Structure 1
Amino acid sequence: MEKVVSRDGTTIAYEKAGDGPPIVLLNGSFRDHTIFDALVPELTPHCTTYVYDRRGRGESGDSPEYAVAREIEDLQAVIEAAGGSAVVFAGSSGANLAIEAALAGTPITRLALHEPFYRVDGFPKPPWNVAKTLRVLMEQDRRQEAVEYFLGSFLGLTPDTVAQWRSGPIWAMNEANAHTLAYDVRICGDCAVPADRLAGYRTRTLVLNSSGTSQWLRAAAQATAAALPNARWLELPGSWHRIDMDVLGWTLAEFATA
């Protein structure tokens, strides 16, 4: 992987592929750049993709004290490597991060968001002490419990669904990146759609959710799009928190190049 140095000196690892206008892919909770392994080939005939490991994950470095502003600077460093401006696609808590980066003036030419982690009225918010609980579990190196707690308390998954995750192929990655879950909780803040701040953001934006996702994620996507003055909302075929990859690929390629 290639490397850039973020403003605070942290090394951020990224991979570049394809040809065309640059698009930076920003992952959400647990994951590193490999979450986009199936999406990149769908985009590279049309775009130059930049996928990177967020700080604390994969081949990227980290810092002793976390701040959301540092993650915004990481994205800015990758965009600088991409030529100084880029389309950004981000999902899950990564979508919340991309929104904060956009509102901070990051040079994003177009913004695509997949199911940001907001809670609109009518859907319960996570417990107020999620971040503190995660920090305590990590101080005790209880990684599995931290992952299970995040999935249950923050995402609202049932114990049976969490058990299915635990037996799945990416559980090892979940545990390896468990220390970054508190980062994502910080990014999400109070989980309220920042409608007042979004009202002033006029960059062209696409907000997506899958047809098989949770009601709270669908409602969050719709509310985010409604708050943005230059946004379009689309529901695409898929399962829980996942869009069918071929559909996502051509949708993003069209959005980035049209």
Structure 2
Amino acid sequence: MQAQLMSTHTVASADGTTIGYRKLGSGSPIVLVHGSMSTGEQWLGVAEHLAQAHTVYIMDRRGRGLSADAEDYSLGTESDDIKALLAVAGEGAALLGHSYGAICTLEAVRTGAAVSSLVLYEPPLPIDAPTAGAALADYAAAVEAGDGDKAMRVAAEHFLRISPEETEGLAASPLWAGMVELSPTWTRELSEIDLTAVLVEEYSALSVSTLLLVGEVSPSHLVGASRHLGQKLPNATETVFPGQNHFVHVMDPAGTAEAIAAFLRT
């Protein structure tokens, strides 16, 4: 695989907030939107592969990485940020969102963003019950006390809904330190996720061509949300990654990129 030159840029969102992004490759454009507790850097491996045939734009969502922040926050501001980057990418851009980033992309399209296709990797929509619910208070208290490790353990049990053994494995991985550092950014995002319960049916009716990426061993509520969309969306296909979970883009960036590229070629 030929290495791609990467450059960094910024664009102003509707409220004036500076949104940073990385650009690499050439060809039809695709915008990548990362999930909670991460930055766009988590998608660099996938982007390197996609850049062989596409111009890839990897945004840092507001409040982290290359991007600034603002006092006012909502799913609407996230949607505006995505629309600002889509305007840079130009007509015919595809749009990918991971986890909460996938909810942000759904909201962008619901509110008028024009995209050629949509890739959703396990949006944590509150299909049967709130994603955060009452446990959000314990999480927020740990964050307020400056105990990011405790906050992440609350999150692992109640939001990620993984086993104690899986939690310890995640805590021992290179991902944990970054998650702990970014734990304050998740409080407001979790609040917004639970508010989307009234929007699920609108998301489920979007007509854009959509690829659902699902890890075979991802938490059941994430698989369930994807399956709900798969049954409702009028123009959706699904790719399941055997033996993988919510972080297949980190574990197998080449395989993730190939699944996306194959969809974009159809």
TM-score (normalised: structure 2)? 0.87
Runs of at least 5 residues in structure 1 that lack an aligned partner in the other structure: none
Q: In the aligned structure 2, how far is the partner of 1:52 from the partner of 1:189?
A: 24
SS in 1 for 2:94: strand
What is the CA-CA distance between 1:33 and the residue it aligns to?
0.7
Assess if the C-alpha contact under 8 Å between 1:17 and 1:50 holds in 2: yes
2:102 touches 2:122 (CA, 8 Å); kept in 1?
Answer: yes
**Does residue 68 of the first structure (1) align with residue 75 of the second (2)?**
yes
1:3 aligns with 10
Q: 1:98 aligns with which of 105, 113, 122?
A: 105
The aligned counterpart of 2:263 is: 255
Correspondence 1:139 to 2:147:
no
| SS of residue paired to 1:196 | helix
Counterpart pick for 2:26 among 3, 6, 19: 19
Identity over aligned pairs, percent: 28
In structure 2, stretches of 5+ residues that fail to align are 1-7
For 1:60-209, what aligned pairs fall within 5 Å after superposition?
60-121=67-128, 125-126=130-131, 128-189=133-194, 192=197, 194-209=199-214
**CA–CA distance in 2 between the matches of 1:55 and 1:130?**
24
How far off its partner does 1:252 sit? 1.0
Q: How many aligned positions are there?
A: 256
Which sits farther off after the overlay, 8-17 or 210-219?
Answer: 210-219
Partner of 1:48: 55
Indicate how the Cα distance of structure 1 residues 108 and 116 shifts in structure 2: closer, same or farther if over 3 A, else same: same
Using the alignment, how far apart are the partners of 2:53 and 2:115 within structure 1?
A: 18
8 Å contact kept, 1:25–1:51:
yes
Q: Residue type of the partner of 1:80?
A: A
The farther-off stretch of 202-211 and 191-200 is 191-200
2-structure distance, mates of 1:212, 1:201: 27
* Structure 1 residues 237 and 160: alpha-carbon distance in aligned structure 2, compared to 1, 3 A threshold: closer
Structure 1 residues 131 and 74: alpha-carbon distance in aligned structure 2, compared to 1, 3 A threshold: farther
Structure 2 distance, partners of 1:217, 1:164, is: 19
* Superposition CA RMSD, Å: 2.1
Letter in 2 for 1:116: P
Residues 142 and 65 of structure 1: CA distance in aligned 2, closer, same or farther (over 3 Å): farther
Q: Note the C-alpha offset of 1:192.
A: 4.6
Give SS of 2:116's match. Answer: strand
CA spacing shift, 1:161–1:141, aligned 2, 3 Å:
same
One-letter amino acid matched to 1:250: E
**Matches of 1:89 and 1:207, distance apart in 2:** 10
Q: Secondary structure of the equivalent of 2:69?
A: coil
- 2:105 is paired with a residue whose SS is helix
Aligned to 1:37, the other structure's residue is in SS state helix
Contact 1:118/1:220 (<8 A) preserved: yes
Over 3 Å counting, the alpha-carbon distance change for 1:193 and 1:155 in structure 2 is farther
1:222 to 201, 223, 227: 227
TM-score (norm. length: structure 1): 0.90
